[in-house]
Amino acid sequence: MKIFKKLATAAALSASLLVAPQAYAAPDVKIGVTFPLSGNSGNAGKSAVAAIEVAAEIINKPHPGLESLPLGAGVGLPNLGGAKIKLVIADHQGSPSEGQAQTLRLITQEKVAGMVGAYQSAVALTATAIAERYGVPFIVGDGVAANITERGFKWTFRTTPIASDFANAYMEFLGELKKAGHPGDKVAIVFENTDYGVSVSGTIREIAKKRGVNIVADIAYSANGADVSAQVLQLKEKKPDAIIFISYTSDAILYMKTLKSLDYRPQLIIGDNSGFSDPAFIKAVGELAEGAINRSAWSIGAKDSVTWRINELFKAKTGQDMDDTSGRDMQAFFVLAEAINRAGSTKPEAIQTALQKTDLKANQLMMGYNGVKFDAKGQNVLASAYLIQLINSQYVSIWPATAAEKPLVYPFKGWK
Amino acid sequence: MMRRSGWIALALVLVLFPLSFDNPYYEQLGSLVLLAAISASAWNLIGGYAGQVSVGNAVFFGAGAYMPLLFYKLWEVSPLYGFPAGIAVSVAIAIVIGIPTFRLSGHYFSMATIAVAELIRIVVSNWDFVGASIGLTGPAVARDWTDLVFRSSIPYYYMFLTVLTVLLVMTYCIERSRFGYYLRALRSGERAARSLGVPVSRCKLYIFILSAVFTSLAGSLYAIKFGFADPASGFGILVSVNMVIVAALGGAGRLLGPLLGAVILIPLQSETNTLFGGGGTGFTYILYGGIIMLIARFEPGGLLELWERIRDRRASRRAVALKEALAASLPNSQAGR
Amino acid sequence: MVLMQVIVAGLLIGAVYALFSSGLTLVWGMMNVINFAHGEFVMLGMYVSFWAFTLLHFGVASFSLAAAVMLFILGVLVYICLIKRVMRGPMLAQILSTFGLVLVLRYSAFWAFGSTFVSLPEDILGPSLNVGGILLSAPKLVAGCVALAITIGMHLLLTRTMLGSQILAVAENRNAAMLMGIRPDRMQAIAWGLSGASAGIAGALIATFFPISATVGESLGLIAFVVVTFGGFGSVPGAMLAGLIIGLIESLSAFYFGPIYQDVFVYALFVLVLWIRPRGLMGKA
């Protein structure tokens, strides 16, 4: 009996030794961040990382005017003794296997409490799979491919709206256009043929069919192609009422230039984020794409508002305004941090439970979602987006009416 | 080539490696090294021993990677069933490519392999049945052991080690056989080999098929470890180039060259990515490219050849020193020559 | 009418393809070395033009010349430091060397210039010309004309000048040329220089209508290989013809069948040419 007691005390003491460091020293809480920092999407990845770094700074240090955000007080994580957040950043180079390897490293070697990533859907698939295997929460901030949350995973959470949300938004918008007397029946979809373009276009097609919208042209192209004249000529022939582009930056730029050189001004252009949101796009062809519509859940907002201040911090760091994708990743990070704080612990199961119970309202977010609440699959059911339009080389929100800063300019103006 | 004690030491290191650390990251690294060694050693058969520089072996890798995942997707069976299918498809492709392209010499053959791999990659990326550009995923959580989904890298490590051992033993036997002799002959000069009666086309085809089989196995093993394959990671040109580089760094045409190359390059890639990766400058690739250029320029035979040269030079220097020492120690009858 | 436009679009891009492939065929035909880094040379030409324009306010002609000169130097350097030694070695070394060069050039550019896309201003060469209802993109038209000029120029250089015949002599029989007092290394260095220069000009002109980034070389390089194989190694006129045909096939198949098939057709053509007629349209047997 005595021996048993001794053993029990010894066990308890050793257990407490393991747990203790977290109790009194409030050590940093590590969060793993993986994005492509080299290769084709290096720019987007760096931007996302910069956004998350800004978010970590907001949590760790007080910044005026941001108190309404959860953890905006800037004192670290209050329920963990004011522990600061420490980011561990890994470049997955856009490769699914590297994404998995880096995630594994962050989980097993760096012992991160949670992960945020990953930009490319293909990488998100493998990275979340390994997190699932090891039982560590992974928040996907920006991958919109449907299958990321369709695998029955319990450790993957996604805060961003997905392809079906956007498709519904586009179709509703077109429906309202029709009500206003503009044509909105014939739609063309032009998409680059890797997983991003294919999965999003597939969803759009499905939903368009359900709503009785006619897809007059369905053009898949290679993002690395040198020339898109034939595609534009095809579009010119079919005369759609609206063209939805699902493109990366270089091809989006090429399309705008080709539209001009072949003198084809479509009635309406909708760009599905990505290339159209890249500042390089605006810089290169902003004057040719006047009136192009994009989707976003991020709007800088009025001066001195929470979003405006966040944008200032981002601008100070990178020299550019924050874009929608980086914003979404920042939001994912905030959600994770908030859940860790609510859990009051860095134990994976506790964080998982906290995430499952997440219920953030719209005014607690910096993105324009209706809120954050995860369903059983881990998808945020309150995710939403609004449509923005490029006016004078700046995007302003135009839809839905509740979020519109300016009215829609119709039809597509394009170049002078 | 190596003394018995060398082999034993190597075998011990390989077998005991994952057990000596309790670090999942190193275990993962070890299994990645072995996987790279398998594909590179398979490439070594056609590119090193037979001298036919294929830059499209990814086509076999991709076939091997897709089949297990496809079987899982279609029939929900264990990916293991897809392994033989991958091999069968790869052999078929090897025969179809091999027969017309072996007529072409040197650069044409390499270009043809690149072209075929690219063509298949494009076809696969547009074919919905195999997941188009989204690719295929396998079981994320194991239903039973046959799903081959393990949390730890250690079981994968030993699976890969087994396959690599089989491959290397086979290569060793080929090296010593008449087949190996034919291969060396045709690598040195096809016309001469033909005139000596070497069945050149048949040899090329057989070794290509063998290379295809093991590359396909490597692909299947990759698929079960990562649970994912898409056209880029399966059939991409970087996959092919990687195989060539790993083999060439260590020493193409040598038994242990690819393994040496893998042992050096894979951790290097990982470490530089960790070191520089956060900065995101692509410095890893610059380093990588630099290494490749240096090897090509100064020591195309790879590190093993470099090692041999140094060793021989040292041995001959020792021999000369010995001779001089002997000459000096002998009575004056020898002096003055 | 639309068909006419599709054809014209195809020919225009085909001329651009011809432009940046002509340099590759010279080197390949001359010394049987595949320069996998050719696409990267074009990419560097694009960047040289961009910086010459942005920092030094050069006009199109000036920055094209600047690109040509800088890439000529790069070509010669690559020959002297890398290719000269590697040519004598095993095939593996030759292939590896230029692959390594690809990585070094591409990622050095990435490191130096960042990952953002940059572009020359839209109307740097003026708007599209309207010829009888057919729209001709000005930059591509210029590129096409320059491609033609380079093709003719290089052909004349190789066949009518002393330098040209020396280069051809070395290509045909290195040892015999040496016996005739020609310095093969010098000729081959010049050939590499010319190859680089034409890649530089190509890059400069392509930059007028195509977004510039460090990874642009990948796709351009692959196209160049197909064009050169189809046209025949060593034949600059062959590259011109092949470029036009491939551009045409791409445009027509994209319009009628869908853009994805464009890639499939081009690669299938590539493979077919290698099997049925490896020497291409106009290459030497």
How far apart CA C138 and CA C136 sit, in angstroms, is 6
Domain ranges of chain B: 18-262, 301-337
The partner residues of A186 in beta bridges, in order of sequence, read A214
Question: Is B236:B243 a contact under the CB 8 Å cutoff?
Answer: no
* Out of B107, B294, B297, closest to residue C34 by CB: B107
What is the ipTM for the molecules in this complex? 0.82
Beta strands in B74-142 (DSSP E): 136-137
User: By the 8 A CB rule, do B163 and B87 touch?
Assistant: no
Report whether pLDDT(A22) > 50. no
The nearest CA of chain A is from the CA of B270 a distance in Å of 9
Which residues does chain B have within 8 Å of residue C82's beta carbon, measured at their own beta carbons? 293, 296-297
* Residues 6+ positions from B129 with CB-CB distance below 8 Å: none
Provide the pLDDT for residue B250. 92
- Average pLDDT over every residue of C114-142: 79
Q: How far is CA A246 from CA A45, A158, A290, B63, in A?
A: 19, 21, 18, 29
| Residue with the larger pLDDT of the pair A87 and A68 | A87
pLDDT band at B228 (very low <50, low <70, confident <90, very high): confident
Q: Would you state the pLDDT for residue A11?
A: 53
Using one digit for the tens of pLDDT, what is the confidence trace for C235-261? Answer: 888 888 999 999 998 888 888 887 777
Stretch C134-158: mean pLDDT, rounded?
83
Domain range for residue C271?
2-276
pTM for the whole thing? 0.84
What span, in angstroms and rounded, lies between the C-alpha atoms of A138 and A128?
6
Per-residue confidence (pLDDT) for residue A327, from 0 to 100: 92
Against chain C, the chains showing at least 3 CB pairs within 8 Å are A, B
Instruction: Tell whether C265 is covered by a domain.
Output: yes
Q: The domain B18-262 is classified under which CATH number: 2.60.40, 1.10.510, 1.10.3470, 3.40.1350? A: 1.10.3470
Per-residue pLDDT tens over the stretch C32-53: 788 889 999 999 999 999 999 9
For residue B141, with 0-12 CB atoms within 10 Å meaning exposed, 13-18 middle and 19 or more buried, which class applies?
A: middle
Residues of chain C with C-beta less than 8 angstroms from the C-beta of B283: 107, 111
pLDDT exceeds 90 at position B198? no
Interface of C with B (CB under 8 A): 28, 32, 34, 81-82, 85-86, 89-97, 99-108, 110-111, 222, 225-226, 229, 260, 263-264, 267-268, 270-271, 274-275, 278
Is the pLDDT confidence value at A20 over 50?
Answer: no
What is the H or E stretch that residue A294 is in?
strand A293-296
Q: How far apart are CA C9 and CA A383, in angstroms?
A: 43
* CB-nearest partner of B292 from C89, C103, C260: C103
In this predicted model, what pLDDT tens digit does every residue of B142-186 receive, in sequence order? 777 777 777 778 888 999 999 999 999 999 999 999 999 999 888
Q: Which of A136-150, A378-392, C135-149 has the lowest mean pLDDT?
A: C135-149
Alpha helices in C79-183 (DSSP H): 84-87, 91-113, 138-160, 162-172, 174-179
Q: What is the pLDDT of residues A44-86, one digit of tens each?
A: 888 899 999 999 999 998 888 888 888 888 888 888 888 899 9
Orientation angle between helical segments C216-231 and C38-56, nearest 10 degrees: 130
**Look-up of token digits 């760094």:** B249
User: How many structural domains are present in chain C?
Assistant: 1
pLDDT averaged over chain C?
A: 85
Residue C155 pLDDT level (bands cut at 50, 70, 90) = confident
Contact indicator for B175, B2 with CB cutoff of 8 Å: no
- The fraction of chain A above a pLDDT of 70, given in percent, is 94
Assess if residue C244 is contained within a domain. yes
CB-based contact (8 Å) between B288 and chain C?
yes
pLDDT of res. C71: 94
Helices (H), chain C: 2-31, 38-56, 60-78, 84-87, 91-113, 138-160, 162-172, 174-179, 184-206, 216-231, 236-257, 259-276
Q: Do A225 and C259 touch (CB under 8 A)?
A: yes
Give the mean pLDDT of C191-215. Answer: 89
Which pLDDT score, from 0 to 100, does residue A244 have? 94
Tell me which chain A residue has its CA closest to the CA of residue C5.
A233
Q: What is the pLDDT of residue B261?
A: 94
Note whether B273 contacts A46, CB cutoff 8 Å: no
Residue A4 has pLDDT above 70, yes or no: no
Beta-bridge partner residues of B229: B136
- Cβ-Cβ contacts under 8 Å, B116 against chain C: 271
- As a whole number, mean pLDDT of residues B83-100 equals 90
Partners of residue A129 in chain B, C-beta under 8 Å: 137, 140, 227-228
What are the tens digits of pLDDT across the range B301-327?
889 988 888 888 888 888 888 888 898
In 3-state terms chain A splits into helix, strand, coil percentages (rounded to 5) of 45, 20, 35
Q: Quick check: B279 pLDDT over 60?
A: no
Is residue A156 pLDDT above 90, yes or no? yes
Whether C259 sits inside 8 A of A219 (CB atoms) is yes
Residues A286 and A263: their CA atoms lie apart, in Å, by 17
Helix (H) / strand (E) element for A31: namely strand A29-35
Q: Looking at CA atoms only, how far is residue C110 from chain B in angstroms?
A: 7
Task: Over range B72-94, report the average pLDDT.
Answer: 90
Q: Strand A269-271 relative to strand A242-246: parallel, antiparallel, unpaired? A: parallel
CB contacts, 8 Å: B141 with chain A: 132-133
Asked if residues A326 and A50 have their Cβ atoms less than 8 Å apart, the reply is yes
Contacts of A104 in chain B (CB under 8 A): 24-25, 28
Q: How far apart are CA B222 and CA B140, in angstroms?
A: 14
Residue C127 lies in a domain: yes
Give the span between the Cα atoms of C77 and C74, in whole angstroms.
5
Kindly tell me if the per-residue pLDDT of A23 is higher than 50: no
Confidence of residue B281 (pLDDT cuts 50, 70, 90): low
Q: How close B323 comes to chain C (CA, Å)? A: 35
Q: Are C39 and C220 in contact (CB under 8 A)?
A: yes
Which of 3.40.50.150, 3.40.50.2300, 3.60.15.10, 3.60.9.10 would CATH assign to domain A21-161+302-384?
Answer: 3.40.50.2300
| Lookup: tokens for C204 | 């400069």
Tens of pLDDT, residue by residue over A213-225, are 889 988 888 877 7
Q: Hey, how many other C-beta atoms are within 10 angstroms of the C-beta on C257?
A: 12
- CATH 3.40.50.2300 occupies which residues in chain A? 21-161+302-384, 164-296+387-403
Q: Under a CB-based contact definition with an 8 Å cutoff, are residues C17 and C246 in contact?
A: yes
Name the residue with higher pLDDT: A109 or A1: A109
Residues of chain B above pLDDT 70, percent: 94
Does residue C282 form part of some domain?
A: no
Residue type, position C4, single letter = M
> Which of these, C31, B275, B290, B211, lies nearest to A38 by C-alpha position?
B275
Chains that touch B (3 or more CB pairs under 8 A): A, C
Closest chain A C-alpha to C102 CA, distance in angstroms: 14
The fold of the A164-296+387-403 domain, in CATH, is Rossmann fold (3.40.50)
C281 lies in some domain: no
Residue A90 per-residue DSSP state: E
